[in-house]
Structure 1
Amino acid sequence: MNLEPRSNPFFRGHEGAVASLLHAVRSGRLHHGWLLAGPPGIGKATLAYRFGRWLLAGGQTDDLSIPETAGVFRRVAAGTHPDFFTVERRVNAKTEKLQSEIVIATIQEASAFMRLTPAEGGWRVVVVDGAEDMNPNAANALLKLLEEPPPRAILLLVSAAPGRLLPTIRSRCRVLPMSPLPDETMRALLADYAPELDQPAQARLIELSEGSIGNALSLAEGDGVALAALVDEVLDAPVKPARAQAIADKVARTVEGVDKFDLFFSLLRARLAARTRAQARAGGANLGHNVTLWQDFGKLEREVLGLNLDKRAAILVALEQLHRS
């Protein structure tokens, strides 16, 4: 089960971030702009929605929770709460495709929303999910909003790449750094989201996901444990041509909407990077070859997906390159 952040009741860990938000509210010094920053899939957007709901519900609990049955929870989940607004990349009405960036028109809508009187007498909350996706015009419009914030309104920026934001945006926000989740928290979250997983599968997902519950759930849904075994196989030693053909056949297929090609290459590059770091710590040599492979595989994946090239051929190319001297 993989819930959208707006409707997700599960949240664990990040005690420091939760404590900072609680203290700001209860001390009467709640800043108008917050930047929740950290790696993908660790719960940043889930915390932003959780805090926004909690504010709109009157802020009564010590863990930012409100019941799933509460009207505030249901309306935020449905996108119908009059005092909650989400900024994110949207589907272009003409092309019916997801925009590649957050555009200024969306920020202007958020600005107009924030300047209205709260419909229910409390706060107006805006979550900017994927803040690094703003184009320059959108970023400048958001900066103006941060410079002249309306009363009883709060901006919650969520970013996996805060370095891509304008320095002036970062400086006008309270930054909440969020780190990968520890194994104990990952186990508890996997029990919440995917109780059907046995312990070996759970342990393997925790190892592969590097503290990201989002990554772990994507791997679980995409047969990631089996694909990780294939990645380890091809990294450990050269595979014979017939075996390479069989791997390419398996990975190139999309099954039940899951793109195994994308997942395989993500795992391959992640495991290659992890091995390279381990070798570097041990004083190993020939690290440049691994770094070049990591870069080449990223380029190959982007070209295949962007240009709709032959996935099977790309896998065979990657397997041939892995152990080339």
Structure 2
Amino acid sequence: MSETAPEPRANPGLLGQARAEQTLLEASSGGRMPHAWVFAGPNGVGKATLAYRFARFLFAGGGEARDEGPSLFGDAPAAPTSLAIDEQHPVFRRVAASGHADLLTVERRFDDDKGKTKKDIAVDDVRKIAPFFRLTAAEGGWRCVIVDGAESLNRAGQNALLKILEEPPPRCCLILVTDRPGGLLPTVRSRARMLTLDALDEAHVRELLARWRSDLDAESRDALARMADGSIGRALSLADADGLELYADLVQLLATLPRLDVVAAHGFADRLGAASADASYRVAVDLIGWWLTRAARYAARGEVPPEILPGDSAPAARFQNPRSLERLVQAWDKAARQFQTTDAANLDRRHALLAALRAIEAAAA
């Protein structure tokens, strides 16, 4: 039976980020730990998991300067070699249950009226950080704030953060988790230490899929691992939304290039652009952008992408000359702008899908 992938605050494991973990261990044990961090990197590689892992470590007594030399009572305690603490430790359990008094999480709220998560992190939530940091630590140690999705901070929210970063309280740690560090103001970035997490190895993605989606056959897990681009979050999202089936449908449609099957294209757009197919539409948009990016990347090197599903490399093989590559990049740009405009103005999703498909067809002409 598959395990359920835990939420970051309750995830005891972290694969593929040993370098980032070692950086935090060294910084926290040297007695001069930065008061603010930016955890940056691709979506779904463990940034939020690492943030909670580090917070638990600090709450459990990590982050204290250590005397490396011997004392009257023997050798000094060895420096920790991992941020991990036992799942049964009271600190782990309180953090997992959102019940640790010294931890504040700031993230985008869900809008009940619109039925979706808000675009920005509320500035009022950001303003809670300063008074939270001014409180005495309930458990006598560190106080931590994790801002998850920090790229969603608007300018007012980031300016509110600046006031905290300019005069950081002692024994307080602020962690900004973001997929797009460029979305943060330079003044915010300059006052925090940047820690960039790497994309996961395909083997690590496959291992986590075997643990959390063992209901899938090995062939499907291998395909998802190749499509994940080093992100277990992406692999799980595709698995949960029947992404492989949608990708197979897209490949079948693109196989009719250089002139798309009009009937099939309209059927694809009608099915995925319907109001009731929101999740499938999101996956389709992601897959179209991913296919265009992948095809362009390999075409720029004069190579055909390796096969993921039978026959899926053939459509990309059409773009193996400089003129076609240029058109492919233009198709990616047009599709991205079309999908962005459609979301922002709540336009017809079927039209957006057809426009993206027609842009690919024009590039293949």
Measured at CA, do residues 27 and 220 of structure 1 come closer, stay the same or move farther in structure 2, by a change above 3 Å? same
Structure 1 residues 204-259: Cα deviation after superposition (integer angstroms, max 9, x where no partner): 1111110011111100001111112222233342442333244334434577x861
Distance 1:90 1:320 in 2: 36
Q: How does 1:213-228 map to 2 (within 5 A)?
A: 213-228=232-247
| Partner secondary structure for residue 126 of structure 1 | strand
User: Does 2:285 align with 1:235?
Assistant: no
CA contact (8 A) 1:103 1:137 kept: no
Residue in 1 that maps onto 2:35: 32
CA contact (8 A) 1:262 1:301 kept: no
The alpha-carbon deviation at position 96 of structure 1 amounts to 7.7
Name the amino acid aligned to 1:109.
K
Distance 2:354 2:160 in 1: 47
Distance 2:298 2:30 in 1: 45
From 273, 277, 298, the equivalent of 1:278 is 298
- Where does structure 2 lack aligned partners over 5 or more consecutive residues? 63-78, 303-319
CA contact (8 A) 1:11 1:46 kept: yes
Residue in 1 that maps onto 2:10: 7
Residue in 2 that maps onto 1:124: 143
Structure 1 residues 248-307: Cα deviation after superposition (integer angstroms, max 9, x where no partner): 34434577x861111112111111111112111227312232122112222332344444
Residue in 2 that maps onto 1:72: 91
Residue in 1 that maps onto 2:269: 248
CA contact (8 A) 1:41 1:215 kept: yes
Name the amino acid aligned to 1:142.
L
User: Does 2:36 align with 1:16?
Assistant: no
TM-score by length of 1: 0.90
Residue in 2 that maps onto 1:288: 326
Distance 2:274 2:85 in 1: 42
Measured at CA, do residues 6 and 258 of structure 1 come closer, stay the same or move farther in structure 2, by a change above 3 Å? farther
Question: More displaced, 147-156 or 21-30?
Answer: 21-30
User: Does 2:353 align with 1:315?
Assistant: yes
Name the amino acid aligned to 1:25.
S
Distance 1:145 1:268 in 2: 41
Structure 1 residues 64-98: Cα deviation after superposition (integer angstroms, max 9, x where no partner): 22233332222222222100001112246887864
Residue in 1 that maps onto 2:218: 199
From 41, 44, 56, the equivalent of 2:44 is 41
CA contact (8 A) 2:205 2:230 kept: yes
| Partner secondary structure for residue 72 of structure 1 | helix
Structure 1 residues 144-188: Cα deviation after superposition (integer angstroms, max 9, x where no partner): 211211111111111111112121221221211111111121122
Measured at CA, do residues 136 and 307 of structure 1 come closer, stay the same or move farther in structure 2, by a change above 3 Å? closer
Q: How does 1:153-168 map to 2 (within 5 A)?
A: 153-168=172-187
Paired-residue identity, %: 42
Residue in 2 that maps onto 1:174: 193
CA contact (8 A) 1:10 1:189 kept: no
Measured at CA, do residues 102 and 316 of structure 1 come closer, stay the same or move farther in structure 2, by a change above 3 Å? closer
TM-score by length of 2: 0.81
Distance 1:193 1:153 in 2: 34
Q: Which has the larger radius of gyration?
A: 2
Distance 1:277 1:96 in 2: 36
Question: More displaced, 199-208 or 118-127?
Answer: 199-208
Name the amino acid aligned to 1:272.
L
The alpha-carbon deviation at position 2 of structure 1 amounts to 4.0
Residue in 1 that maps onto 2:107: 88
Q: What is the aligned residue count?
A: 324
- Where does structure 1 lack aligned partners over 5 or more consecutive residues? none
Question: More displaced, 226-235 or 155-164?
Answer: 226-235
From 286, 289, 301, the equivalent of 2:339 is 301
CA contact (8 A) 1:253 1:259 kept: no
Question: More displaced, 245-254 or 156-165?
Answer: 245-254
The alpha-carbon deviation at position 117 of structure 1 amounts to 1.0
Distance 2:103 2:226 in 1: 36
Could you say what the CA RMSD is over the residues aligned between the two structures, in angstroms? 2.4
CA contact (8 A) 2:106 2:125 kept: yes
Structure 1 residues 92-116: Cα deviation after superposition (integer angstroms, max 9, x where no partner): 6887864322233222211111111
| Partner secondary structure for residue 259 of structure 1 | helix
Distance 2:37 2:338 in 1: 37
